Amino acid sequence: MTYRTVKRILDVTGSAALLAAGALPMAAVAAAVKLDSPGPAIFRQTRLGLGGKPFTMYKFRSMQVGAEHTGTGVYSQRGDPRVTRVGAILRKTSVDELPQLVNILKGDMSFIGPRPVLTYHPWPFEEYTDEQKERFSVRPGVTGWAQVNGRKTAMWPERLKYDVEYARNLSLRFDLRILKRTVGEILSARDNENEGETVAARGSADA
């Protein structure tokens, strides 16, 4: 059995268990989001997944409805007024990512892998180099090698190099290393906001 198969089994069993255990807390978060600002609790956005195929990614909404059409667009910066009060807490704790457990269960994503990019940013799929397209040879993840090496401060060229490195060296040991560092990043809440320079220079990691 290859590690890719083992990884998928772990993704399915892990996401199913966490969704079952976290159903009530997630419902409470959804209610808090709706009470804090008008609009749906879940934010849906099209991203590129395995093989560069589009899929709908889910997050708890942390910004005002229609925020992607104002300000800096889909990416937020430190102190962005479009981020709601509850949204600021969700982002700081990474709780806004929890609905991606559904994406993992469906097979759109994995717990660990390159973060799924927008269909048009930093550029369309056709504009990635052959080397950069290697990042699409694995399922995108909730966290990844690039995220624990700069998270939201890494510029795109550097981030893509980390993504390719991960795809080329996929292994349980590598995933455990990323998982350990991710826990540290979440607990310290480091680099969890986009910097203005990276947003403006096609460089932000993830909205």
Q: Is 23 exposed, middle or buried (0-12, 13-18, 19+ CB in 10 A)?
A: exposed
Model confidence over 44-57: pLDDT tens digits?
999 999 999 999 99
Model confidence over 175-189: pLDDT tens digits?
999 999 998 887 776
For residue 39, give the amino acid letter.
G
Model confidence over 120-135: pLDDT tens digits?
999 999 999 999 999 9
Domain boundaries, the chain: 3-200
Both structure tokens of 157: 């060229």
- For 141, residues 6+ apart whose C-beta sits below 8 A from its C-beta are 109, 110, 111, 112, 113, 114, 115
CA dist list (Å): 155 to 25, 200, 202: 34, 11, 8
The structure's pTM equals 0.86
